[in-house]
DNA sequence: GTTAGCACTCGCCACCCGAGAGTGCTAACC
DNA sequence: GGTTAGCACTCTCGGGTGGCGAGTGCTAAC
């Protein structure tokens, strides 16, 4: 209570330095940090007693916590937040690491979905936590090609290729058998009807087909309806597939010894909607975002932190890359790495989508 | 040493019953089982002392082990093997469970890759261990359609649709910019050149293109080369994508408390080659296969067991479904479930590929 | 405002001990 | 001869105990 000043402004430099030291020590050791350890290992130029005073102050302000009376201090989510704020606009990744990452991205002759796997894998190995990447998704697409092919006795394979690259394949059941020629016919008709259309355009075609007199072949209607559905789904989702890698890295962290937490986190990640919901604010700022523990909207993620960055060109194709780790994470390194990889992904997108 | 008979034949019925009881008890409790617990809980009609004699015998034969002098017995891999042999040709899945599983497969109006996810998910929830499914893969395919489309300033999107349904998309870099019309031209030419060809046929086309005088547009050569590569990869791999679900179920098993094992297992599963190598023997017998612990060729999998079954029609399209769990697994239930799901997948394949 | 000193708290660890479960062996039993 | 009761022995597990060490908060001196 002694030196409470009640000003919301920045902490004194010394307090902040101590907070920083505590966080770095805690991140490194996963053990509550004591005043003694701090002065010996960080040479702060003051005595443990002074550090203790500052610690008490930081605890009052909500930046630190301690698990029990005679244990060292542990940063709170609020403490991490302050720490992260103080470094966001900082250091580039070490050149060696840049080189290593760039090297992994060397051969881009891959199938498109492979890059995103690669980005996730690279992030995972570089940061030792879990890497996440979503495929780049254009805001909306037109139909480039539609192809209907016989698959089984009463099933057809419907492939839709969209202008910006995405491909969708589904199987369609028919209510009567079709000969190969009939399918070929239908495929041609469909291609003519739908080529170049947007989701909206396809809906219109569907309406016309439904009302046509004499009625058109029902397989055309059914296929068109399926295409409408595909386009709707495409437009509705904010992100494409989510790739992740190195989730096992996270598992090794002592805080996840063997808990329910991890299962919840896995579940949330599977769900594309989760990252989709975050997209707007990510793209708006265009910077690296850090979401710490309880700051996360989703209660299943309260024990982990995310470092995310958007990539791509607004209006063309966008996606997210990032890492997921325990709240006790090496933020500076994670932030630099994510920033660097998102930069690489930007290059790729520029290269691939005009 | 007393009643050693040295005949390799089947165990006496009583010994086998005791082994069975031990395994079932151990599977249920994960605790070494003692003679006392066994007679009280399984009413074998003999005294603990007798059971102990039999146990000692079974241990000599290598079916049991005990962690230390005064602990109960634990089945060895060899013990599980005997147990599994005695049940493989047995019980159908309980009707209730059949219904539940069938219900999940209710709407097959999914994109094709969704079924395999669904199969993996269903297996995982039904058995409480990890579910595995590979997409059905035809032995070899011809090209149904090829499509080249502009993607970026110096990149093209190449989509190959194969006759049996699989679709491949890759990005191609060009050495000079192409106009949309030029790409459209190339796409048409390519389609004509390659339609209906097998991997071998495409190779021939590539050879011809390379030797043509005057030389054809290099982008055609490059695209064809990429198609050759794709077809080769397709023909070479014995399985399509591997889907898994519920790996976390396995994580909960006490034997995996927090070990390196799990990481190794995950790694092996990622690798399509692993299941691919197993395909031949699976399809040959057509039955449910159980691979127990150290029976597994891959040393990374020595602590887990697999219950696998092929599905599909030889020569048309084949795949694998199964479960992966700790060696201490409820085999009868797992076997019934896998058998049932593989039957369902057979129906699907029959329905879709003829 | 800073620091040394000090009493106090509390988790951790090693240790011991007793209870309990299980074994192997032997001798008696059917 | 196979089966069983009895018994001595082994080993794990859980609880209780005590010392150790790290850390705290407070006070008084600098």
pLDDT in tens, B187-227: 999 988 898 898 899 999 999 988 888 888 888 888 999 99
A55 strand D contact, CB < 7 Å: yes
Give just the sign of the alpha carbon dihedral B294, B299, B305, B309.
Answer: negative
pLDDT in tens, B290-316: 999 999 988 889 889 999 999 988 777
**Angle in degrees, 0-180, between the axes of helices A331-352 and A112-127, rounded to the nearest 10:** 160
Give just the sign of the alpha carbon dihedral A119, A120, A125, A127.
Answer: positive
pLDDT in tens, A96-155: 999 999 888 876 555 566 788 889 999 999 999 999 999 888 877 889 888 888 877 777
Report the alpha-carbon distance of residue A114 to residue B226 in Å, rounded.
Answer: 15
Name every chain A residue with its beta carbon within 8 A of the beta carbon of B154.
Answer: 351
Model confidence at B173, in pLDDT bands (50, 70, 90)? confident
Report the alpha-carbon distance of residue B89 to residue A229 in Å, rounded.
Answer: 44
Report the alpha-carbon distance of residue A255 to residue A129 in Å, rounded.
Answer: 13
Strand bridging mode B143-152 / B155-162: antiparallel
Q: Which two tokens stand for residue B301?
A: 């999998």
A219 cis-preceded (ω within 30 degrees of 0): no
CB-CB neighbours of A137 under 10 Å: 24
Tell me the residues of A at the B interface, defined by beta carbons under 8 Å apart: 108-113, 144-145, 147, 149, 151-155, 157, 159, 161, 163-165, 167-171, 173, 248, 251-252, 257-258, 262-263, 266, 350-354
A32 strand D contact, CB < 7 Å: yes
Whether B171 sits inside 8 A of A108 (CB atoms) is: yes
Global confidence as pTM: 0.85
CB A92 within 8 A of CB A336: yes
A78 strand D contact, CB < 7 Å: no
Interacting residues of B50 by C-beta distance below 8 A, sequence separation 6+? none
Whether A353 sits inside 8 A of B152 (CB atoms) is: yes
Tell me the residues of B at the A interface, defined by beta carbons under 8 Å apart: 108-113, 144-145, 147, 149, 151-155, 157, 159, 161, 163-165, 167-171, 173, 248, 251-252, 257-258, 262-263, 266, 350-354
* Parts of chain A with a pLDDT under 70: 1-10, 88-90, 107-113, 257-259, 353-354
Interacting residues of A296 by C-beta distance below 8 A, sequence separation 6+? A302, A304, A306
CB B75 within 8 A of CB B58: no
Distance B157 CA to D13 C1' (A): 65
Q: Which of residues 47-106 of A touch strand C (CB under 7 A)?
A: 47, 49-50, 53, 68-71
Mean pLDDT of chain B: 85
pLDDT at A353: 66
Share of chain B above pLDDT 90, in %: 31
What is the number of CB-based contacts under 8 A between chain A and chain B? Answer: 108
């Amino acid at each position: 209570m002694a030196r409470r000043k009640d000003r919301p402004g920045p902490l004194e430099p010394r307090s902040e330095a101590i907070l920083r030291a505590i966080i770095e020590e805690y991140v490194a050791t996963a053990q509550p940090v004591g005043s003694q350890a701090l002065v010996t290992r960080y040479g702060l130029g003051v005595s443990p007693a002074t550090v203790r005073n500052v610690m008490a102050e930081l605890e009052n302000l909500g930046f630190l916590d301690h698990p029990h009376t005679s244990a060292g201090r542990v940063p709170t989510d609020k403490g991490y937040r302050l720490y992260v704020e103080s470094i966001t606009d900082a250091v580039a990744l070490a050149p060696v690491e840049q080189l290593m990452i760039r090297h992994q991205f060397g051969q881009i002759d891959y199938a498109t979905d492979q890059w995103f796997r690669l980005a996730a894998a690279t992030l995972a190995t570089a940061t030792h936590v879990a890497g996440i990447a979503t495929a780049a998704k254009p805001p909306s697409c037109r139909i480039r090609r539609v192809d209907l092919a016989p698959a089984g006795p009463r099933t057809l394979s419907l492939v839709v290729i969209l202008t910006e690259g995405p491909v969708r394949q589904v199987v369609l059941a028919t209510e009567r058998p079709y000969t190969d020629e009939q399918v070929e016919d239908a495929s041609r008709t469909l291609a003519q009807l739908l080529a170049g259309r947007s989701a909206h355009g396809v809906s219109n075609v569907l309406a016309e087909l439904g009302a046509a007199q004499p009625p058109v072949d029902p397989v055309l209607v059914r296929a068109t309806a399926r295409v409408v559905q595909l386009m709707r789904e495409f437009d509705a989702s904010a992100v494409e597939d989510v790739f992740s890698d190195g989730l096992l890295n996270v598992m090794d962290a002592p805080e996840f010894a063997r808990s329910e937490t991890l299962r919840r986190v896995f579940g949330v990640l599977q769900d594309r909607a989760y990252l989709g919901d975050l997209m707007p604010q990510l793209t708006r700022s265009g910077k690296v975002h850090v979401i710490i523990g309880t700051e996360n909207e989703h209660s299943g993620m309260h024990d982990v932190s995310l470092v995310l960055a958007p990539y791509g060109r607004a209006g063309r194709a966008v996606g997210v890359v990032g890492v997921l780790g325990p709240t006790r994470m090496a933020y500076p390194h994670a932030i630099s790495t994510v920033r660097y990889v998102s930069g690489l992904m930007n290059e790729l997108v520029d290269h691939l989508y005009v």
